[in-house]
Amino acid sequence: AEGGGCSDILSSAYSEILGIPLPALGFLTYSAVSLVALQGASKVKEGESDSTEQMALRGGAAVLASTSAYLMFTLFTKLDGVACPYCFASATLSALILAASVPGSRSSDVPKGAGMSLAVFLALAIGFGDVADLTSGGAANAAAPDLYIEYRKPPITT
């Protein structure tokens, strides 16, 4: 695609999930997480606390972070590390949201969040048909470069 960077990504096979453009899905997910965070923050301000909202926030943060991790994996293994500032900003923001949602978590919440993240990561890999790449370190479809190294006789000294 012409233009490079973001336009390469938006015109690739990885630009949509189930026919929905990734930017639209990202907007909806970030909006939902933001609404849950704002609702939870207003309750905390009023002296109330709701563990359901806290779990929803952590779940949303886990979905954002695992999706971003998978898409960064895809960016570097399938799209040759194309420079897309929006992709990098989104991945950074989702990691920060996850980090901000962790304080106050119970240790029993960690396996649930890790399980959800793994499930999202694998669902994306299966949906995009990249399971072979996950097991081969991203090299399943990569062609080996032509490499020729000229032989030089080593000097023999006695």
Q: Name the residue with higher pLDDT: 45 or 139.
A: 45
Mean pLDDT lowest among 46-50, 128-132, 137-141: 137-141
How many DSSP H helices and E strands does the chain contain?
6, 2
Show the tokens assigned to 70.
């998978």
What letter represents residue 80's amino acid? D
Please give the pLDDT value at position 64: 86
Is the pLDDT at 141 greater than 60? The verdict is no
Confidence of residue 56 (pLDDT cuts 50, 70, 90): confident
Please give the pLDDT value at position 69: 85
Q: Residues with Cβ < 8 Å from 19, sequence gap 6 or more?
A: none
